Chain A
Amino acid sequence: MANAKAKVDAVIVGMGWTGAILAKELTDAGLHVVVLERGADRDTQPDFAYPKVVDELEGSVHRRYLQSLGQETVTVRHNLTSTAVPYRQMGSFKPGTGVGGAGSHWSGCHFRALPEDFKLRSNVEQRYGKSFIPSDMSIQDFPVSYEDLEPHFDHFEYVCGTSGKAGIILGAKQAGGNPFEGSRSREFPLGPNPNYLGAEMFYGAAREMGWDPYPIPASNASAPYVNPYGCQMGPCNACGFCSDYGCLNYSKASPNISILPVLRQRKNFELRTHAQVLKVNLDSDGKKATGVTYLDAQGREVEQQADLVLLCAFSLYNVHLMLLSGIGKPYDPQTGQGTIGRNYSYQNLNRVVLFFDKNVQANQFIGIGGAGTTMDNLNGNQLDNGKAGFVGGGIIWARQPGAGPVRGINVPPGTPNWGTAWKQAASDSFRHSFYFEVQGACMSYQQHYLSLDPTYKDAFGRPLLRMTFDWHDNEVKASQFLVSKAMEMSKILNPTALAGDAKKPGEHYNITKYQSTHTCGGAIMGSDPKTSALNRYLQSWDVHNVFAIGANAFPQNNGYNPTGMVGALAYWSAKAIREQYLKNPGPLVQA
């Protein structure tokens, strides 16, 4: 090894939300922490400064704030027998890079999972019988409960200045919030953001359907705020540049504005950017990590030794690093043996667009990333899955993260793609249409998993991660059911035209169309080392000083955005490291 850096207490791979949370918690505990970030350093000034940041061509075409697929990507196939091909152009999902990671270009939807989401398999079995779950569906209970995570959900919301309205506080129902949520220990740090037109109309239509609409919890500050770390946020000015963009206004919570201002002051914290981690190094018997090897900005291999290795990259790349490093046994879908790559899941996102005449001022260019209106009447235990005929629920929402014409203008069905008719439709629709979305859960299956690709390599010569995934009948049924409900609700509002995109039977996963960046699973947490990569503290069952923190830990995905859960799991894991692991390094759960 040409370059070896002095050993540190902990090395963290990735400077997004989970890396920032773990770095904060472990430097609080007095550890010397080095974070290796593959991308560039980024901060509100100068990287997200107005007006440079509100450039649609740069943000949404050149994708300045996202990962370049030129260096690293994944390959995708629909089933075990076909050949995977590369995800060559950004489409279905959008991993971030650079300081802040996807946490700098997210929208801000900040949910907690429902208590029943944590015990999905046992809950479904109890309600509908074991045979209701398709034989290839490999869903599992989380090895933690809502109650375990509640303090961490709460803390993360306070770090993010999440704006919303509680539905249940200490067991007591609150008017205006989600009546079906898990009990909160207190109100949101900030009240809900104002409603734009679509969110307001959603209230009326949802109530007419007999549902219980409530404000989407959004980490887009509705008022000035100082978080528990002393980091300040300004009220969101609805600029309309959230998803794909860094926040120009210190309004959208991000690692950059919510945690890093503190970390950057600390002597026991060191951030190295343009540091591409190639693998985790293990000792001779493979039971303990000795550190990581990375390429520095110039491309020189550097070894960083550490007592603790925390994988805090985007979920897919945490799994990639585990597979490349020989941490745990790769999952084999034929035999069901092995754990790394198991239970990859996604999000079942569908859209309904409503078009109106020129008197309806929808103004889609106005946007508050996470804010809007949603409802839980078809999610969790509110949905009669037996009657609906599928496992997992979902939410319908009116959300408006901000639209501009380069990002695309929705036009009524049947409109040509060019020429005068298209121009007319685009001009008529731009300010007078909005959309509702159905965000459905996505189950995990024996045949959907992550592995190393046998053919394609990244820019560093490593095999790409291969994703085997397609829409299962269960998710197609869920899409049809939830979209039909959204269409029914939309008709109440008398749009001049309505477009819905429910998945059709036999429809395959399309990687070209943006759906959701909620890629989940692949290195899941569980209570059995035979069927999970991580224990309940997100610690590798196989290499005890490696923790893999992120949505990779979800055994399946629920109907919500994952960030609230990811943040809570990061604090939960950090607490276990601080209070248990550091005193007595070793497995925190006996296999």
Chain B
Amino acid sequence: MSDDDAIPARREFLRKSLTLIPVVTLASTGLGAQAFAQTPGDKPAAAAVPMPAGDYTPSFFTPQEWAFVVAACDRLIPADHVGPGAVELGVPEFLDRHLQTPYANGAIWYMQGPFIEAPAEFGYQGRLNLRELIRIGIKAMDASCQKQFAGKVFAELSHGDQETLLKAAEGGKLELDGISSKTFFSNLLNEVRNGYFADPSYGGNKHMGAWKMIGYPGMRADYMDWITVRDKPYPLPPVDLSGKRG
């Protein structure tokens, strides 16, 4: 997946992002100059952290969590020849906002104990709500990275290392402190996809970029005249909940 760096559009995007890092990313993530100071600027394998869309300032994530989220979004749904990436479409903003909703606080989940380990067919049986799952998962993942990569957190690793770690987490093969890497990963991926594809009013899918990529007409919700059309693609661009056209 890091091969995508060879694609011109991707290179261009990263070039712009990199250019902006000193100005914006450090300020908005607040990761601190020292975090980046530890990363040799001339090391070609070091991850380029793209700039999240807009000038959103996270209010849920800490600077270190934000850096993780931006980096993970960029690996899970990278910008490439297929279409826009999660970062440029504002998925980190979506996550920051979504994790503050009652849903992420466990509003519609049954959250009472006892909590018993059960086979996978019974789903998540833990006691953490979504908000805690993500927060604790990020912390555990960064801690694991720091052990394995001489003090570096996830966001500071190369794309290749990040992808290897995410794959290990996906398969439940990454040992994390206090939380199953598989549970963390599946919840994170779900939310990243939600943010990528949900209505732009939730912070992600800026300018309906994800809908345009897959050809989803969004919230048109009226296809009476197109049910039996076979010979041409659906012609209209998407609209969002606020009535904007893509």
Interface set of A (CB-CB < 8 Å, partner B):
50-52, 54-57, 61-63, 66, 68-70, 73, 76, 78, 83, 85-91, 194-197, 200, 235-241, 248, 361, 363, 365-366, 368, 404-406, 409, 417-421, 423-424, 426-427, 430-431, 455-457, 508-512
CB < 8 Å neighbour of A61 from B4, B103, B125: B103
CB < 8 Å neighbour of B223 from A195, A238, A405: A238
Query: Are A238 and B224 also in contact (CB < 8 A) when A70-B110, A70-B111, A83-B116 are?
Result: yes
The 9 A-B pairs of least Cβ separation, nearest first, read A405-B197, A239-B221, A512-B123, A430-B214, A57-B198, A510-B121, A366-B223, A423-B82, A238-B223
Closest to A71 in B: B110
Say how far B154's CB is from chain A's closest CB, in angstroms. 15
Distance of A53 Cα from B211 Cα, bound (Å): 18
Distance of A235 Cα from B222 Cα, bound (Å): 11
Say how far B92's CB is from chain A's closest CB, in angstroms. 16
- Interface members, chain B 188-215 (any A CB < 8 Å): 189, 192-194, 196-199, 202, 210-211, 213-215
Q: List, in ascending order, chain A residues with CB within 8 A of B216's CB.
A: 365, 404-405, 430
Interface set of B (CB-CB < 8 Å, partner A):
1, 4, 75-78, 80-83, 101, 103, 106-112, 114, 116, 118-125, 163, 166, 170, 189, 192-194, 196-199, 202, 210-211, 213-217, 219, 221-224, 226-234, 241, 243
CB < 8 Å neighbour of A55 from B223, B241, B243: B241
Closest to B233 in A: A361
Q: List, in ascending order, chain A residues with CB within 8 A of B198's CB.
A: 56-57, 61, 406
CB < 8 Å neighbour of A420 from B78, B103, B211, B214: B78
Q: Do residues B82 and A427 form an inter-chain contact, with CB atoms below 8 A?
A: yes
Q: List, in ascending order, chain A residues with CB within 8 A of B170's CB.
A: 417-418
Q: Do residues A419 and B222 form an inter-chain contact, with CB atoms below 8 A?
A: no
Q: List, in ascending order, chain A residues with CB within 8 A of B107's CB.
A: 68, 70
Q: List, in ascending order, chain A residues with CB within 8 A of B116's CB.
A: 83, 85
Q: Do residues A363 and B223 form an inter-chain contact, with CB atoms below 8 A?
A: yes
Distance of A409 Cα from B122 Cα, bound (Å): 23
Q: List, in ascending order, chain A residues with CB within 8 A of B78's CB.
A: 419-420, 423
Q: Do residues A73 and B110 form an inter-chain contact, with CB atoms below 8 A?
A: yes
Q: List, in ascending order, chain B residues with CB within 8 A of A78's CB.
A: 121
CB < 8 Å neighbour of B224 from A237, A418, A420, A457: A237
17 contacts between A and B (CB under 8 A): A52-B241, A54-B241, A55-B241, A62-B108, A66-B108, A68-B107, A70-B109, A89-B109, A197-B230, A237-B221, A237-B224, A238-B224, A404-B197, A406-B194, A419-B77, A419-B78, A508-B121
Distance of A85 Cα from B226 Cα, bound (Å): 46
Closest to B121 in A: A510
Query: Are A90 and B223 also in contact (CB < 8 A) when A62-B101, A406-B198 are?
Result: no
Q: Do residues A61 and B224 form an inter-chain contact, with CB atoms below 8 A?
A: no
Say how far A430's CB is from chain B's closest CB, in angstroms. 4
Closest to A76 in B: B122
Query: Are A361 and B108 also in contact (CB < 8 A) when A85-B118, A418-B76, A418-B166 are?
Result: no
20 further interface pairs, Cβ-Cβ under 8 Å (given A51-B241, A85-B118): A54-B219, A70-B109, A86-B112, A86-B125, A195-B227, A196-B227, A235-B224, A238-B223, A240-B221, A365-B223, A418-B166, A418-B189, A420-B82, A421-B1, A423-B83, A430-B214, A431-B215, A511-B123, A512-B122, A512-B123
Distance of A76 Cα from B123 Cα, bound (Å): 11
Q: Do residues B241 and A89 form an inter-chain contact, with CB atoms below 8 A?
A: no
Q: List, in ascending order, chain B residues with CB within 8 A of A419's CB.
A: 1, 75-78, 163
Query: Are A420 and B1 also in contact (CB < 8 A) when A69-B110, A73-B110, A240-B223 are?
Result: yes
Query: Are A239 and B222 also in contact (CB < 8 A) when A56-B199, A85-B118, A419-B1 are?
Result: yes
Distance of A51 Cα from B106 Cα, bound (Å): 26
Distance of A361 Cα from B223 Cα, bound (Å): 14
Say how far A540's CB is from chain B's closest CB, in angstroms. 29
Distance of A55 Cα from B194 Cα, bound (Å): 12
